[in-house]
Structure 1
């Protein structure tokens, strides 16, 4: 289509230039002819005036009573004198149109006699005859003496030099105009190519984009509108490619999240169903047998209590997940070190149950701005996670200290045990991520560290997990707050 546009440009410019050239040529010819007529008319008027002066003088010098007769008698002399005075051939006629004398009768023979007929009617007239670059005029007018028409004078004047001169001028103007129009047409054609060639490139590039090739670029280096259009096109394709890449990443991430959510739903359904089934089974047997079998009764009640506690913990975790989008409580000054000691004391019993111990090294005055209940849950989840996944009879090392250079309070929860791969260590804090189920505790649905990450993010902190060489360490950093800041 753009080649058609280029052809339209060429044909359009050609038509415009041809019409303009023809119009200019016709106009110049008409103007020059009009100018020639003006010059000829001026010469003829002067010719008539000279002839009239000569005839009047001749009649004044010789007082003839019969003017017509005298005009006939002096015709030969008068024609000769006017021939020499005007450099034109002259013929004299009677008032009836009869030729009296002619300086060169061949100049009048075979020519139009319309001017002579008009002169017989008392009018002044002339006839212009063209023959190539030559031009001549037949000029006739009645001679009137004292109000009486005594004869007719007819002149044959050659204007070939005038027409040759104007012809040369016309030729010069013709070729000059032709050269100018040819140069203008060539410039216009080159300009149209200069415009349409980039458009062809843009069309080809856009076609490649339609076919899915986003690596195409237009190599047009110009500082005009087309150059800016090409640069904008390249930027647009770059942004589209970037957006498509981002969309692809988001699509893959959404797909992974969807799969994680499905696994999470399956896990929650399974983990909730298993203890409920066990509780229901023991409860029905105890209802039927009562305390008849005391040993079974005690075992069943203990199982029901343990499973109920496990259900309660899972429900609390699920509720915590649902609270992430809820309104946050106002932050208050919290002594994180004292809070961590309380949590350590409470979790010591759970650690002993697994034959493990917790070693805490916490500085005094570790103040942060936050929500005490949620920070407590943060520490509980991290210690519980360390207890569950550490080696048997392991010592869990907990360190809490101030990083004054960074203006933060740092916590480290380290435990020996089975380590995670680098990929799992990066993903353990993602929502719904359950990790390698080989090392997963029964009843866990993979929400603990996700909740921990949400609490740390809400407090403006950072968290990461380092796992390797038989040891896993979770590091948490929270913005530090001075005591006076909380008082204020």
Structure 2
């Protein structure tokens, strides 16, 4: 902005200089003209004075020339001008500078012609006699014996010298005025450009995204209005930017917290957007894929083929694909075509939803229904078969009682199955309320062992408990009883006669958790069955389970109840070496 100020100052000073130069030339010309006019008027007065004071005798010929030559020289000393007497016919009768006989006829001289016409003749011309510019003034005189003209002439050297002095004085004055004008113009230019510099500086700050910058100018003229407009524009931009940033933040927050993945791909195949959920599903970072072609996802061949099909057809579709990276999963892909306001095609928006758990639950539901149907069908078939036999007539009372006992046992088994199904359904649907209270573990397990002792004695199985007297836990007593009843019953059922079942409770090193272990000396569990031991209706030995009256839901119920207590359960077993069910559970429950 300073170069602009300098240019503005230079322009103003040039205009002022030109104006002052023009004014100086005009003033010099006026001064010169007025000086010449004043000189001419003085010369007219001097001629009139000569006419009034000089005697004009009636001389002719050489006497007249001698007389007027002498008088012209005398008058030259008085008026300080060249004096010339000229007759009507233009003959020079006397001259203070030259000999009349050597001078030309003056009848046609400009000042003579003008004096004849107007009474006074004035002219300025170069005198070849004297070699300089002269001013000539002539007037007709008719006195006594003289009838002609008196002409005075003066050199313009003095006049020019006066003009030069005037020029010097005026030049000095103009120089002072020019300096003052330069200072004033610089101040004016600074007054004009300084606020413009501030406005320009603020405008540049705004272009650099500094929307807090403001113009501090308190003026009511056009510059003040411009500053006010700039500040208003900055306020508007700042407000709009805040709105945009808030919307972007809100949109980013929505995208980042969506459970579904979002993948936006431009019409030319470049990835425009990928949210956090999509990153997790695809096992790729947004910065690795954004701005690149979607085919960079080489580990998802089927998915890229589906995306390519969507980009080509530009229609809405919904498909499911299996992904094997970073983990095996099932993803449902919804594709929607994106268009701009003018209808032009922009690309595709893909919504990715992980439906692995949904499909797994659907399979589990189907398997559960199939298992329930199967489990219900077996006792019902037995009840129906033996009932039909009895209705058909059985003469042997012992056989009838045997059939009735089978019908009773199968109905009991059916009752347990229905009870366990309802219990598991209630637990899984979170409808089973938890009632926490402090439980003294030694007392709790002693009562359980008393309940289990008759069943263990039938098989001569030794029950052993190692629970420190000082241990307490916070939990739901009924559900804990259900957990350990199932585990102890299984341990007794799958242990051979004369075996041993041991329950231990100990505080873990962290001090916040307890570990419970139910160990038996039974037949053990094959390694291939260990991962599925807690599934519903899963039996390692199906024949033996049916004989023992198990429903296949006990361990599944145990697992859910342990998880309701914020705990975990695992099993360690080897065939023929027995099994150990290990439960880790917090001392205190949160919430």
- Relative to the length of structure 2, the TM-score reads 0.44
- From 370, 375, 400, the counterpart of 1:271: 375
Of 375-384 and 291-300, deviating more is 291-300
For the pair 1:294 / 2:364, whether they are aligned, the reply is no
Secondary structure of the structure 1 residue equivalent to 2:125: helix
Contact 2:514–2:585 (Cα < 8 Å) also in 1: yes
- From 458, 466, 483, the counterpart of 1:378: 483
1:51-106 alpha-carbon deviations (Å, 9 max, x no partner): 2222222321333679963875422159xx9x989xxxxxxxxxxxxxxxxxxxxx
Compared with structure 1, are the counterparts of its residues 274 and 427 closer, same or farther at alpha carbon in structure 2 (3 Å cutoff)?
Answer: closer
- From 420, 433, 451, the counterpart of 1:317: 420
Secondary structure of the structure 1 residue equivalent to 2:435: coil
Instruction: Tell me which residue corresponds to 1:434.
Output: 538
- From 457, 472, 482, the counterpart of 2:579: 472
Shift of 1:31: 9.0
For the pair 1:456 / 2:562, whether they are aligned, the reply is yes
Contact 1:268–1:445 (Cα < 8 Å) also in 2: no
Compared with structure 1, are the counterparts of its residues 60 and 244 closer, same or farther at alpha carbon in structure 2 (3 Å cutoff)?
Answer: farther
1:206-260 alpha-carbon deviations (Å, 9 max, x no partner): 923569995462799xxxxxxxxxxxxxxxxxxxxx9999996953233223212
Which structure shows the bigger proportion of residues in helix conformation?
Answer: 1
* Pairs aligned (count): 320
Shift of 1:307: 0.7
Q: Distance in 2 between matches of 1:333 and 1:41?
A: 113
Compared with structure 1, are the counterparts of its residues 347 and 205 closer, same or farther at alpha carbon in structure 2 (3 Å cutoff)?
Answer: farther
Of 376-385 and 50-59, deviating more is 50-59
Instruction: Tell me which residue corresponds to 1:262.
Output: 366
Instruction: Tell me which residue corresponds to 1:217.
Output: 287
Compared with structure 1, are the counterparts of its residues 412 and 327 closer, same or farther at alpha carbon in structure 2 (3 Å cutoff)?
Answer: closer
Secondary structure of the structure 2 residue equivalent to 1:217: helix
Compared with structure 1, are the counterparts of its residues 295 and 307 closer, same or farther at alpha carbon in structure 2 (3 Å cutoff)?
Answer: same
More contact order relative to length (CA 8 Å, sep ≥ 6): 1
Q: Distance in 2 between matches of 1:55 and 1:395?
A: 154
For the pair 1:251 / 2:355, whether they are aligned, the reply is yes
1:103-157 alpha-carbon deviations (Å, 9 max, x no partner): xxxxxxxxxxxxxxxxxxxxxxxxxxxxxxxxxxxxxxxxxxxxxxxxxxxxxxx
Secondary structure of the structure 2 residue equivalent to 1:330: coil
Instruction: Tell me which residue corresponds to 1:163.
Output: none
Of 262-271 and 443-452, deviating more is 443-452
Contact 1:359–1:395 (Cα < 8 Å) also in 2: no
Q: Distance in 1 between matches of 2:437 and 2:16?
A: 106
Q: Distance in 2 between matches of 1:84 and 1:429?
A: 136
Instruction: Tell me which residue corresponds to 1:57.
Output: 39
Instruction: Tell me which residue corresponds to 1:89.
Output: none
1:160-210 alpha-carbon deviations (Å, 9 max, x no partner): xxxxxxxxxxxxxxxxxxxxxxxxxxxx9xx99xxxxxxxxx999992356
Secondary structure of the structure 2 residue equivalent to 1:74: strand
Q: Distance in 2 between matches of 1:346 and 1:284?
A: 38
Q: Distance in 1 between matches of 2:441 and 2:267?
A: 65
Equivalences for residues 45-444 of structure 1 within 5 A: 45-63=27-45, 69=115, 72-76=121-125, 207-209=270-272, 214-215=284-285, 217=287, 251-289=355-393, 292-324=395-427, 325-326=430-431, 328=433, 330-351=435-456, 355=459, 357-363=461-467, 365=469, 366-390=471-495, 392-393=496-497, 395-403=499-507, 405=509, 406=511, 408-415=513-520, 416-421=522-527, 425-426=530-531, 428-429=533-534, 432=536, 434=538, 441-442=545-546
Q: Distance in 1 between matches of 2:8 and 2:443?
A: 108
Instruction: Tell me which residue corresponds to 1:136.
Output: none
Q: Distance in 1 between matches of 2:38 and 2:560?
A: 130
Shift of 1:450: 2.3
Shift of 1:268: 0.8
Shift of 1:382: 0.6
Q: Distance in 2 between matches of 1:282 and 1:314?
A: 20
Compared with structure 1, are the counterparts of its residues 394 and 439 closer, same or farther at alpha carbon in structure 2 (3 Å cutoff)?
Answer: farther
Contact 1:462–1:476 (Cα < 8 Å) also in 2: yes
Q: Distance in 2 between matches of 1:439 and 1:467?
A: 20
1:284-336 alpha-carbon deviations (Å, 9 max, x no partner): 332342x5232331221111111112112112211221332225253334343
Compared with structure 1, are the counterparts of its residues 253 and 437 closer, same or farther at alpha carbon in structure 2 (3 Å cutoff)?
Answer: farther
Contact 1:464–1:476 (Cα < 8 Å) also in 2: yes
Q: Distance in 2 between matches of 1:412 and 1:261?
A: 31
Instruction: Tell me which residue corresponds to 1:138.
Output: none
Q: Distance in 2 between matches of 1:453 and 1:341?
A: 23
Compared with structure 1, are the counterparts of its residues 27 and 426 closer, same or farther at alpha carbon in structure 2 (3 Å cutoff)?
Answer: farther
- Relative to the length of structure 1, the TM-score reads 0.52
Q: Distance in 2 between matches of 1:243 and 1:53?
A: 109
Q: Distance in 1 between matches of 2:330 and 2:12?
A: 73
Of 441-450 and 310-319, deviating more is 441-450
Contact 2:491–2:519 (Cα < 8 Å) also in 1: yes
Compared with structure 1, are the counterparts of its residues 84 and 396 closer, same or farther at alpha carbon in structure 2 (3 Å cutoff)?
Answer: farther
